Structure 1
Amino acid sequence: MTPPAYRRPETLGDLEQLLTDIEGGEGPVRLGKRSRHVLTALVTAPQQAAVSSISDLAERLGVSPSTLSRLAQRLGFDGFAGLQAVFRRNVTEGKSFYSDQVSRLLDGEGDNDDHHARLSRLGRQESANIDDMVTGIDGEVFVRAAELLVEARRVRVHGMRQFASLASFMAYGLGMLRPDVSPLDAARHGVADALAQLDEGDVLVVASCFPYTPSVLATAEAAARQGIHVIALTDSRGSPLAKVARYSFPVPNHSLFFSNSMCAFMLLVEGLLSEAANRLGDAGLAALKRRESLIGELDASL
């Protein structure tokens, strides 16, 4: 039973906040480990939760339909249809992700004057994101993706908005180890022109999470049709990017931050770059030494 003062979630933001509270041990509803896992999967893939039948969702999540029904009831709904309606409203109406995040932060915390408590809580949430990301990594997929980053003739990295900084960081780091790596549209001539310079077997790394940037998805789909190997850094296995990628990595990003949390994404990129450096061995070391020599030469002359 839910407590008398409990107000059932009406939006995706409400569900995200409830999940954050539950994971922090502060939620008004108590859920077991399996129920928390199921709720996390639904929240991180809202489109899938909105359009799939209860049977299909249960099969994907490895649970019985009755588990989904019981979860919905624990959250205050009469049945799963009520919970699914929250996801369906989000898909059909939701274009206010960022403002919803800020409203959630301002309205429901109760510790607006305790800056350190808020920072500490954010730190705990980010630590949980990182732990869940590392635990969920498929080791074989991780190694194969790193091999592609090392062996492909060309590697391009693409992200928009805040993921543009992630793409720049990854391209810079991999470019320290091997040639012909850059953000996809580094010359600002347009994505179509940039994709036209890639051949079958080249690699495109794309990064985005809910609310997914349509142009990034379209770019990934076009690249895959051209035989370019797509590696996706995204938020769930149900992400539309994961569906077109050769290899994809689900990265949890539940936190109080008003936009998409980036900490676990950054760690994943650092991990892939470290694995690439390990696989390059002496060749990567030589590239770094050449770079250091050039830095020293230019510093002396400027």
Structure 2
Amino acid sequence: MDTKALEPPVSLAELQALAARIARQDQGAPRLSARAQTVLKALLASPERVGLSTISQLAEQHAVNPSSLTRLSRALGFSGFKTFQALFREDLSGATYYSTRAERLLDFGETPTLRPGGAQRALWEQEMANLSAAVEGLDDAMLERAAAGLATARRVQVIGLRASFGAAHYLAYYLDYLRDDVHLIAGEAGVGVERALTLDSDDLVVGIAFRPETRTSVDYCRLAVEQGARLVALTNHPRSQLAGLTDCRLVAPAEGPFFFNPMSSLFLLVELLLSRVAVRLGEHAVASIRRREALIARLGVE
């Protein structure tokens, strides 16, 4: 086929649609080998990884030669791998991130389905894989360093907006049981970046952001670092914008056939952090919990 006549896709959604046409062998669609189609399908299944990895890293992950990825890109109408990758990078911060992901899963029939016997296992199996990957890839020294900061900082602020707010609230709520001066930064409460202006080197901020990263969270953490505060990043990619702001980062893998970001591994990391902090604070943590429980009992809070 004369690939020069092929107009390349201008968005990840168009690339996804082209891949579906190739799989169906529609008339006018490029003809790819079975191996090339498998690689293309795998790349579309992990857009974050494609957007943030080098061609060599991707080639190693998919057991192909880098030149194979260049040939694949050209077969799809691109001038080379860089223009192919540009679609994925643009999608990382695009407003259509979730709809593109959902459409891809539907087009390739990768959404969870009921298997014979009535057991729906696809999401469970992938979440178990995410949890295993989180533990296997965990740097224990990094976890200990983050826990030490949470235990000893003068003040701790936790920020995670939109989809990450649940984990941020969970961490801040239970950390407040263990120690004083814990603050949840919540945009809906009218709290803006001005809260970061009082921070200094005695303070620590925990930033939580999954791709597509919320700009407000990243901007807040950037300002906190500029003020001298320490930053612990919880993210689903080691090369995310948030991770780039600090050398203390914990990665929660979030792969799987789900329209949105799987969160099980993120909550596992939060629980590990809380456990380490509790152990570090020891009797002080127990006394703090008892004071909180006594207040709850006195006020009749249920």
- The TM-score range, normalised by the shorter chain, is 0.7 to 0.9
User: Displaced runs of 4+ in structure 1, greater than 6 A?
Assistant: 61-64, 73-81, 110-113, 115-118
Compute the displacement of 1:243 (Å). Answer: 1.1
CA distance in 2, matches of 1:182, 1:170: 10
Matches of 1:186 and 1:291 in 2, distance apart? 26
Q: 2-side partners of 1:78 and 1:125: how far apart?
A: 31
After TM superposition, the structure 1 = structure 2 runs for residues 86-165 of structure 1, keeping only pairs within 5 Å, are 86-92=84-90, 94-109=94-109, 114=114, 119-165=120-166
Distance 2:157 2:287 in 1: 22
Counterpart residue type for residue 101 of structure 1: R
Given the superposition, is the C-alpha separation of residues 124 and 152 from structure 1 closer, same or farther in structure 2, using an over 3 Å criterion?
A: same
The answer on 1:218 being equivalent to 2:214 is: no
Shift of 1:89: 1.2
Identical counterparts, % of pairs? 30
- The aligned counterpart of 1:25 is none
Distance 1:221 1:156, change over 3 A: same
Deviation at 1:234, TM superposition (A): 0.8
**What residue number does 1:291 align with?**
292
**In the alignment, does 2:21 pair up with 1:48?**
no
Question: Residue 6 of structure 1 corresponds to which residue in structure 2?
Answer: none
Deviation at 1:46, TM superposition (A): 4.4
In the aligned structure 2, how far is the partner of 1:100 from the partner of 1:118?
28
> Which stretch of structure 1 is more off in the superposition, 279-288 or 189-198?
189-198
Alpha-carbon distance, 1:166 to partner: 1.1
Q: Does the 8 Å contact 1:11/1:86 carry over to 2? A: no
User: Alpha-carbon deviation of 1:78?
Assistant: 6.2
Letter in 1 for 2:104: R
Q: How far apart in 2 are the matches of 1:100 and 1:89?
A: 12
SS where residue 240 of structure 1 aligns?
Answer: coil
Counterpart code for 1:90: F
Q: 1:190 to 1:293 in 2, by over 3 A?
A: closer
Q: Which residue of 1 aligns with 2:66?
A: 69
Cα shift readout 1:190-233 (whole Å, capped 9, x = no counterpart): 32221123232301111112212122111111111111111111
Cα gap change, 1:124 to 1:212, in 2 (>3 Å): same
Residue 230 (str. 1) matches residue 231 (str. 2): yes
Task: Give the letter for the 1:108 counterpart.
Answer: F
2:266 aligns with 265
SS in 1 for 2:178: coil
1:4 maps to which residue?
none
Give aligned pairs, total.
272
99-108 or 235-244: which moved more? 99-108
Q: Please report the TM-score for the alignment, with normalisation by the length of structure 2.
A: 0.75
2:167 and 2:267 in contact (8 A); partners too = yes
> Which range moves more in the overlay, 182-191 or 76-85?
76-85
Q: CA deviation at 1:39?
A: 6.8
Q: Compute the displacement of 1:293 (Å).
A: 1.8
TM-superposed deviation, 1:74: 10
1:243-285, Cα deviation, whole Å (9 max, x unpaired): 1124111221111221111111011101111111111111101
2:232 is paired with a residue whose SS is strand
Where does the alignment leave 5 or more consecutive residues of structure 2 unmatched? 1-8, 20-33
| Structure 1 residues 70 and 271, CA gap change in structure 2 (3 angstroms) | farther
| Change in 2 beyond 3 A, CA 1:97/1:298 | same
1:44-91, Cα deviation, whole Å (9 max, x unpaired) = 444433xx6x5xx55xx8969x96516637978769975544321132
Within 1, Cα distance between the matches of 2:188 and 2:99? Answer: 32
In the other structure, the counterpart of 1:199 is 200
- Cα–Cα, structure 1 residues 92 and 105, in superposed 2: closer, same or farther, change >3 Å? closer
Greater Cα shift, 75-84 or 234-243: 75-84
Question: How many Å separate the matches in 2 of 1:90 and 1:270?
Answer: 32
**For residues 68 and 123 of structure 2, what CA distance do their matches in structure 1 show?**
26
Distance (whole Å) between structure 1 residues aligned to residue 83 and residue 52 of structure 2: 12
1:193 maps to a residue whose letter is E
